């Protein structure tokens, strides 16, 4: 189905394991979703203070239960993956079009960058949502470190 978060168990598990190893105790210091401040479409400060890992980020980008960015976007680097969406723009060259601070803001809460009407979900927000399923209530789609990792991966997508 649409945003198939149910499949790709292996990818999910691998990515989660990688994440546990990588983040260690850092998550305790992560900026809370409610404390994130996007100004003029920019979010300069890292959510964790720890550099993102582009390899873990790519797994999160592809994973259906994680970022599932491919539900809506294509990019050449992931062309081996089955099924790319066409709902959002192709992400090739995204890092040449946007500053890192803007890309972080887009991933954290695209509504504050593109406006309320955008279809792109905010991956690190929990407030202002309607009828969230109990399983996901009070949770963000990605963890702070996963956002930093995806950002590190998107930053590799240069012209």
| 28 vs 116: CA distance, rounded Å | 30
2: contact with ligand HEC by CB under 6 A: yes
Residues of span 98-137 touching ligand HEC by CB under 6 A: 103, 106-107, 114, 118-121, 123
Binding mask 49-88 for ligand HEC (x = CB under 6 A): ------------------xxx-xxx-------------xx
The structure tokens 């995806």 sit at 150
Coil, strand or helix at 156: coil
Other residues' Cβ atoms within 10 Å of the Cβ of residue 56: 24
26 binds, among ligand HEC, another protein, none (CB under 5 to 8 A by kind): none
Q: What is the largest CA-CA distance in the chain?
A: 41
74 binds, among another protein, ligand HEC, none (CB under 5 to 8 A by kind): another protein
Nearest distance in Å: CB 49, ligand HEC: 20
Other residues' Cβ atoms within 10 Å of the Cβ of residue 96: 9
Q: Are 102 and 113 in contact (CB under 8 A)?
A: yes
The structure tokens 């509504």 sit at 111
Contact footprint for ligand HEC (CB under 6 A): 2-3, 67-69, 71-73, 87-89, 91, 94, 97, 103, 106-107, 114, 118-121, 123, 150, 154
């Amino acid at each position: 189905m649409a945003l198939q978060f149910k499949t790709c168990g292996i990818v999910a598990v691998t990515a989660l394991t990688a994440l546990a190893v990588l983040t260690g105790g850092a998550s305790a210091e992560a900026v809370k979703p409610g404390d994130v401040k996007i100004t003029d479409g920019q979010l300069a400060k890292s959510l964790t203070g720890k550099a993102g890992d582009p390899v873990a980020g790519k797994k999160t980008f592809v994973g259906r239960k994680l970022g599932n960015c491919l539900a809506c976007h294509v990019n050449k680097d992931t062309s081996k993956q089955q099924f790319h969406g066409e709902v959002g723009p192709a992400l090739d060259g995204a890092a040449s079009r946007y500053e890192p601070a803007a890309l972080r803001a887009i991933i954290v809460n695209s509504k504050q960058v593109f406006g309320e009407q955008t279809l792109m979900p905010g991956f690190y927000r929990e407030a202002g949502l309607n009828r969230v399923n109990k399983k996901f209530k009070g949770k963000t789609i990605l963890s702070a470190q996963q956002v930093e990792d995806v950002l590190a991966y998107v930053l590799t997508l240069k012209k």
